[in-house]
Structure 1
Amino acid sequence: MTDFLKNISQQPLHVVDASIPLTQYTPISIAASNEELSFDVSSSKEWESYLATFFSKHQKTVAYGGYLETRAIYNRSEHFNKLSAENQRNIHLGIDVWCDAGTAVLAVLDGEVHSFKNNTNYGDYGPTILLKHSIAGQEFYSLYGHLSLASLENLEVGKKVKQGAQIGTLGDSSVNGDYAPHLHFQLILDIEDYNGDYPGVASKKTLDYYKENCPNPNLLLKLPDETNIMNY
């Protein structure tokens, strides 16, 4: 499946505002091992301040990365935090694209709306859309999390969408699970029985399964240097 996804397009596929050139993108690490993250990582406001400084320093407007990154930010929420290290969910299964609230979110490929929901747990996705894709006999799904509430208006299961069409906008910290604005973008092979939701963070105990079921979204996005900032 990895080769299939990689070969769907030879060109990078946009998942946020296509008018933002890829020259405005830069990789970022929010891994627990990143010593630059010396602020209160439980505070969305401090994250926003850190990102503003990061963007200014790099002279970019979009930051991305995080597939299979081990993170400390989830410790703040009982939704992720378990008693044992083995069961603690802190390994990220998608790519995050950090940019301004209100930025257009695009369907990465032709598909249809599988499901949608506002996931309101603290630290959760907030408004979320899942698309179903069927290409050359292969069926898989894409998840778009941390959207605005308006993104869920007038949606219907089964609604057809075209590659590059706007399906929503990024939410702010008041609705997106209390994070600095960003898109969580994830690929899923077997959606199981989930609707409007799917685990975006794995534990060490479950990682082998989720690595297979949630391949690297950068197979489609083809953003440069993304693998150089990931912790395996």
Structure 2
Amino acid sequence: MTYTIFGEQFTPKFSLPLGGELSPEDFITIDLSKKNPDLLNGTTDDVAGLHAYVFGKIEAANAKCAYGGYAEKRDLYQRSSHFADSEDFRSVHLGIDFWMPAGTDIVAPMPGRIHSFKNNDNPGDYGPTIILEHHIGNEKIHALYGHLSKVSLPGLMEGQLINRGQKIGTLGIPDENRDWPPHLHFQLIKDIGEYKGDYPGVCHKKDKKYYLENCPDPLVFFENSWSKKMVS
């Protein structure tokens, strides 16, 4: 299976950015969009309610991880002023979320280098964040890892080489990941511009076309054994 990016045919080469022994059967999909009727009763409006909902689904399925969220229009961001402006709030999610327990190891899905890192500590923001730079053919693509633990950042250096499968951090708790249940926000970015340690992970509906073009669906980049399970 191949996909076109930067005008080139690309065969998925990414392994999962999650440590530990995992198989496709350990994953379930989860819908956190405004279309999900389960989210209409207000029980997921705070971090405790959202945690109970997501991790309850994982437990009920006897799974280890819930994933999803690319291009979802979510009402979850209304609870944070960080996503609002004078007219509207940002609601279109630009990455994929992997919901797993705090402390889960996060690893590089392919070789690269550290582009930048930062603790984005606005309410509802990413918290500790690492961005890696990878090469596909003659082009670069950046991978953003958000909602990490604070201990993930000390000792990092921009330009530091990272091997495929190398641990780069761990998932944070709500107090450090800016009030979210533990999860990894994984986002690919073609043109990162001047951003360092940060990039919009949620956009306004009016800007959806630009951002979804610049931030392709991460699921199609995973190796075929995973993408057959995840993309279907």
TM-score normalised to structure 1 length: 0.90
Q: Which residue of 1 aligns with 2:175?
A: 174
Q: Which residue of 1 aligns with 2:99?
A: 98
How far apart, CA to CA, are the structure 2 residues paired with 1:145 and 1:41? 21
CA contact (8 A) 1:5 1:219 kept: no
Q: Could you list the runs of 5+ residues in structure 2 that have no partner in the other structure?
A: none
Question: Is the alpha carbon distance of 1:107 and 1:4 closer, same or farther for their aligned partners in structure 2, counting shifts above 3 Å?
Answer: farther
Question: Is the alpha carbon distance of 1:177 and 1:5 closer, same or farther for their aligned partners in structure 2, counting shifts above 3 Å?
Answer: farther
How far apart, CA to CA, are the structure 1 residues paired with 2:9 and 2:115? 19
SS in structure 1 of the partner of residue 102 of structure 2: coil
Q: Which residue of 1 aligns with 2:30?
A: 28
Q: After TM superposition, give the deviation of residue 4 of structure 1 in Å.
A: 4.8
Q: Which residue of 2 aligns with 1:158?
A: 159
SS in structure 2 of the partner of residue 150 of structure 1: helix
Q: After TM superposition, give the deviation of residue 41 of structure 1 in Å.
A: 2.9
Question: Is the alpha carbon distance of 1:159 and 1:143 closer, same or farther for their aligned partners in structure 2, counting shifts above 3 Å?
Answer: same
Amino acid at match of 1:77: S
How far apart, CA to CA, are the structure 2 residues paired with 1:70 and 1:114? 29
Match runs of 1:1-232 below 5 Å:
1-2=4-5, 4=8, 6-9=10-13, 13-37=15-39, 38-85=41-88, 88-221=89-222, 222-223=226-227, 226=230
Q: Could you list the runs of 5+ residues in structure 1 that have no partner in the other structure?
A: none
How far apart, CA to CA, are the structure 1 residues paired with 2:173 and 2:141? 28
Identity %: 40
SS in structure 2 of the partner of residue 205 of structure 1: helix
The structure, 1 or 2, with the larger RCO (C-alpha pairs under 8 Å, 6+ apart) is 1
Q: After TM superposition, give the deviation of residue 227 of structure 1 in Å.
A: 5.4
**Deviation by residue 1:139-190 (Cα, 9 ceiling, x = unmatched):** 1100000000011011000000011111000001011010000000000000
SS in structure 2 of the partner of residue 55 of structure 1: helix
CA contact (8 A) 2:118 2:153 kept: yes
Q: After TM superposition, give the deviation of residue 225 of structure 1 in Å.
A: 5.9
How far apart, CA to CA, are the structure 1 residues paired with 2:131 and 2:9? 17
CA contact (8 A) 2:24 2:229 kept: no
How far apart, CA to CA, are the structure 2 residues paired with 1:223 and 1:97? 15
**Deviation by residue 1:52-100 (Cα, 9 ceiling, x = unmatched):** 3211221111000000000011001111023434xx2100000000010
SS in structure 1 of the partner of residue 213 of structure 2: helix
CA contact (8 A) 1:100 1:182 kept: yes
Question: Is the alpha carbon distance of 1:204 and 1:14 closer, same or farther for their aligned partners in structure 2, counting shifts above 3 Å?
Answer: same
SS in structure 2 of the partner of residue 175 of structure 1: coil
How many residues matched? 224
Question: Is the alpha carbon distance of 1:169 and 1:4 closer, same or farther for their aligned partners in structure 2, counting shifts above 3 Å?
Answer: farther
How far apart, CA to CA, are the structure 2 residues paired with 1:113 and 1:5? 25
SS in structure 1 of the partner of residue 98 of structure 2: strand
**Deviation by residue 1:4-46 (Cα, 9 ceiling, x = unmatched):** 575142xx62111141222100100011110112334331111
Question: Is the alpha carbon distance of 1:83 and 1:67 closer, same or farther for their aligned partners in structure 2, counting shifts above 3 Å?
Answer: same
